[in-house]
Chain A
């Protein structure tokens, strides 16, 4: 069994009476891109700062490469951080910034120069080597920060909201660039982000955090398709959630959903008992819209209340006779003009969904 690069064991952090991080345990493997995902104040940045050594855990221990970090100051950790504000030294040129960490390495000036040149090439900033940080664009600054953090070949790179300061187009491009740089250097990345899309595309694994607690850890697909709580389901993408109670167990589980005025069939999962209250959740893109009545178990009839056309897809809000609203996301696969599109305002429609798409959440 390979040993995890980072082991976080029961780490808590309090600021006065405020508990920012509560008993977090995580293992991060070598070469992984691991995301800490959560809203502001969820403790993700505090956790990152504890890994960098800027904050000491109130409780628990952090091991990096098998070494307990408790007594290791930030300047001796095999960890570098890319700050959200980039924290470039304003009085130093781009190359001086990139080479700053190398001052502490025992290497010849020629080697140091070569390493700086190599890093600048990696982030494609060679022509800007002599510029000062205020003379380059935001995207370029972000790359300088990345090159500077990677120059000393850390075992672990911490990225605090690496893309938050970039505009949307640049963000998408930089995302792929980050991934390719990670692949080429083989450095383990821990990324803090509040942007679920960013976390999904970048990461090998995601830890969803809320109020200092890790709610779920897993691969992006697993966390998205099999969320363990209403919070996670809601935070990653959107859901239609209704209170329900289990009426029958078996090959499929039947739940009664009062808000829909009917029962729903779900794929069997363990750990439920008849009569138990659960949340029945359904992702909008897992529902199919039909213009004509369909037969089957999970079929709901309703009327289009609202629709938002995004071009490649549309979002419908369907009102059921019970008054409940169901969001449905449909891809506009066929080319259609305004007159002959799938469904229009006040159209009567039927919604169907597979039992395997139904999420039964107890938390």
Chain B
């Protein structure tokens, strides 16, 4: 009876439809509001923008400024390079960890997987503050690094402390720390499904372990690399909190710019224009990729 009720077509439609409705209400509609705002004009009313009247109905000034004011271009470049750096480092650190997870026995695997997720159980802000403490010029960690540096290099290059805080390096470091599980988990899910006899087959045909990895494991894990890469790159590019707390305020990331435009400058149309540009920058490559992927699949099927 319950089974029949569950299998009723209307019920399955509802279950499938619910996430769509959710996305419509909480993502698509707010996004359309942002898009609309980006064409508005800044006013001193509340809310601080308007359309028509003495202002143009569609004001493209915000988009024009994206290209004319180097602040925005620099912010985009900083965001993309920081995010790309974090992504590559996450991949380099996360790949061996994910691969290692597939090679340990079941009991250990669950414990290690839990350790990967464990940092999520403490507040994200708390963990960033912990990093700030570590990197600050008076911390034991910094003193240790300073001592090591001064010991290694000639005296002329000695420093009072290693400038870790308020740099893009600090931003990338903390982002790698924060987003590493997002790289490991999809990679692990992908690597875990691979057939270990394929490794044996490659070895049997004369490949040393490194060649086995290069020829068999790596090509088959590309979907996992792409999934993990996106999960790190996209939030990292729009990151606000980490660059605000540990970053270099003279070269802000795009999240910081959006936040500043909204709050201190109260230029909502400009903030919206930046947000829309960021979204296009993020979604564009993704759409091109999935289009490419779908075409490759269709080609394979038709052969």
Contact = CB atoms under 8 A, between A and B. Distances in A.
Interface stretch (A77-85, A270-278, A281-289, A341-349): A77-85
Nearest to B209: A75
Contacts of B303: 131, 135
B201 A83 contact: yes
Contact of B220 (A74, A88, A90): A90
Interface in B113-155: none
B303 to A, nearest CB: 6
A100 interface: yes
Contact of A132 (B197, B205, B207, B300): B300
B198 A54 contact: no
Interface residues on A, range: 20 to 34
Nearest to A83: B197
Interface string B204-230: 111110000001100110000000000
A87 B207 contact: no
A194 interface: no
A91 B217 CA distance: 10
A224 interface: no
A264 B208 CA distance: 63
Contacts of A90: 198, 220
A207 B214 CA distance: 39
A79 B197 CA distance: 16
Max chain A CB contacts within 10 Å: which of B195, B206, B219?
B206
Interface in A57-79: 73-76, 79
A80 B205 contact: yes
Given A83-B201, A131-B303, A101 B206 contact: yes
Nearest to B205: A101
Nearest to A132: B300
Nearest to A77: B204
Contacts of A53: 204
Q: Is the interface of B mostly helix, strand, loop or mixed?
A: helix
B203 interface: yes
B177 to A, nearest CB: 33
Given A132-B300, A135-B303, A89 B206 contact: no
Q: Quick one: which of A76, A85, A100 has the most chain B CB within 10 A? A: A100
Interface residues on B, range: 10 to 19
Contacts of A101: 205-206
Central interface residue in B203, B205, B300, B303, by most chain A CB within 10 Å: B205
A52 B197 CA distance: 13
A75 B208 contact: yes
B201 to A, nearest CB: 4
A76 B215 CA distance: 17
A155 to B, nearest CB: 14
A149 B197 CA distance: 14
Nearest to A74: B203
A132 B203 CA distance: 21
A161 to B, nearest CB: 13
A74 B219 contact: no
Given A91-B220, A131-B303, A135-B303, A83 B205 contact: no
Contacts of A91: 219-220
B201 A104 contact: no
B219 A87 contact: no
A13 interface: no
B202 A89 contact: yes
Nearest to B204: A81
A81 B208 CA distance: 16
A362 to B, nearest CB: 42
B28 to A, nearest CB: 37
B197 A85 contact: yes
A152 B197 contact: no
Nearest to A90: B220
A329 B140 CA distance: 89
Interface string A138-160: 00000000001100100000000
B293 interface: no
B204 A52 contact: yes
Contacts of B158: none
A89 B207 contact: no
A74 B216 contact: no
Given A104-B206, A135-B300, A87 B220 contact: no
Contacts of A81: 200-201, 204
A100 B202 contact: yes
Contacts of B300: 132, 135
A149 B200 CA distance: 13
Contacts of B198: 87, 89-90
Given A74-B200, A81-B201, A104 B220 contact: no
Contact of A100 (B195, B205, B220): B205
Given A75-B207, A132-B300, A135-B303, A83 B200 contact: yes
A100 B198 CA distance: 12
A149 B206 CA distance: 11
A53 B201 CA distance: 11
Interface of A: 52-54, 73-76, 79-81, 83, 85, 87-91, 100-101, 103-105, 131-132, 135, 148-149, 152
18 contacts: A53-B204, A54-B203, A74-B203, A75-B205, A80-B205, A81-B200, A85-B195, A85-B197, A87-B200, A89-B215, A100-B215, A103-B206, A103-B207, A104-B205, A104-B207, A105-B206, A148-B205, A152-B205
Given A88-B201, A103-B207, A131-B303, 7 more contacts: A75-B208, A76-B206, A85-B197, A87-B197, A101-B206, A135-B300, A149-B204
Interface of B: 195, 197-198, 200-208, 215-216, 219-220, 300, 303
Task: Give 10 closest A-B pairs by Cβ, nearest first.
Answer: A101-B205, A104-B206, A87-B201, A87-B197, A74-B203, A91-B219, A81-B204, A75-B206, A75-B203, A87-B198
